[in-house]
């Protein structure tokens, strides 16, 4: 069994990124003693919808903030999904990049968000889309990484399963007006792939948008194991990776794909 802690942090416009960084690292420090894997939301430092601030804080992945998170993970000997950051790549491109840190403090995996939200006027005005699918061994088992809007694209999750994924790990900045979509889609991705889904969403208001929270852990049968509310909190749940093989044997629907 593995304990996961979803840090449903607030990204509110009234708080500067510098102050937010310190506060959220404090929340992370509170979560680490009680888990094997801690998860932060998407673009929590800038706010998922505040592209102006994201542009200001964009940085390479050797930033001092990420270095501090890596040190915290190593000190606690705990995995940390650091959420995602506006990554400034060496060629000048900017990506919405999720970073998974191992219990030794090394970067175990990065995932550049493939599906950019906002159509012609949103993330695409600042970010470039990633191209790679990422599956990495974690305390959840072989784990596929995804970010927010990716949740609407079932073919991506099926492709992750084809690469061996038995769990999905998401960071998100999903807004309140469509939070019921989030809740339905999270269960659907778990049900159709017979896989665990662990998804940390943000809260708070920025750029005229309020995030909806409802961070969630769903088991391979589609049962919601734990779900947060719509305010800042740390949601802790237990994941049993062996349930995937048990359910895929008892209900082998993946074998009937055409």
- Residue pair 179/149 in contact (Cβ under 8 Å)? The answer is no
Torsion of CA 125, 206, 233, 239, to 10 degrees: -20
Closest among 96, 236, 97, 231 to 176, alpha carbons compared: 231
Q: How far apart are the first and last CA of the chain?
A: 33
In this structure, what is the dihedral angle of CA atoms 13, 204, 146, 19, given to the nearest 10 degrees?
A: 50
Q: Is 113 a catalytic residue?
A: yes
Beta bridge pairs of residue 98: 84, 111
Catalytic residue among 87, 113, 166, 232: 113
Phi, psi of 223 (to 5 degrees): -80, 130
The tokens describing 204, both together, are: 């708070």
35 a catalytic residue: no
Are the C-beta atoms of 221 and 247 separated by less than 8 Å? yes
Q: State the catalytic residue, choosing from 35, 87, 123, 148.
A: 148
> Is 132 annotated in the active site?
no
47: region left, alpha or beta (phi > 0 left; psi from -120 to 50 alpha): left
How many CB atoms neighbour CB 179 within 10 A? 17
Distance of CA 135 to the CA centre of its chain: 13
Of 42, 87, 123, 166, catalytic: 42
**Residues annotated catalytic, as ranges:** 42, 113, 148
């Amino acid at each position: 069994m593995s304990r996961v802690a979803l840090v449903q942090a607030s990204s509110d416009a009234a708080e500067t990124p510098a102050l937010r960084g310190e506060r959220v690292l404090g929340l992370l420090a509170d979560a680490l003693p009680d888990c094997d894997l801690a998860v932060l939301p998407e673009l929590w430092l800038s706010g998922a919808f505040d592209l102006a601030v994201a542009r200001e804080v964009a940085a390479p992945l050797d930033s001092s903030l990420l270095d501090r998170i890596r040190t915290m993970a190593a000190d606690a000997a705990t995995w940390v999904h650091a959420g995602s950051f506006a990554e400034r790549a060496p060629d000048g491109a900017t990506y919405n990049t999720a970073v998974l840190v191992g219990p030794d403090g090394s970067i175990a995996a990065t995932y550049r968000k493939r599906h950019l939200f906002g159509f012609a006027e949103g993330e695409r005005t600042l970010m470039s889309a990633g191209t790679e699918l990422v599956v990495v061994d974690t305390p959840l088992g072989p784990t596929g990484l995804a970010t927010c809007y990716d949740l609407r694209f079932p073919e991506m999750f099926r492709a992750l399963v084809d690469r061996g994924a038995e769990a999905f790990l998401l960071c998100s900045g999903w807004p309140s007006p469509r939070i019921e979509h989030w809740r339905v889609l999270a269960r659907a991705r778990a049900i159709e792939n017979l896989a665990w889904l662990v998804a940390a969403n943000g809260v708070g208001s920025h750029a005229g948008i309020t995030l909806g929270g409802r961070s969630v852990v769903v088991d391979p049968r589609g049962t919601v194991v734990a779900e947060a509310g719509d305010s800042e909190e740390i949601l802790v749940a237990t994941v049993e990776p062996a349930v995937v093989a048990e359910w895929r044997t008892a209900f082998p629907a993946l074998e009937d794909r055409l």
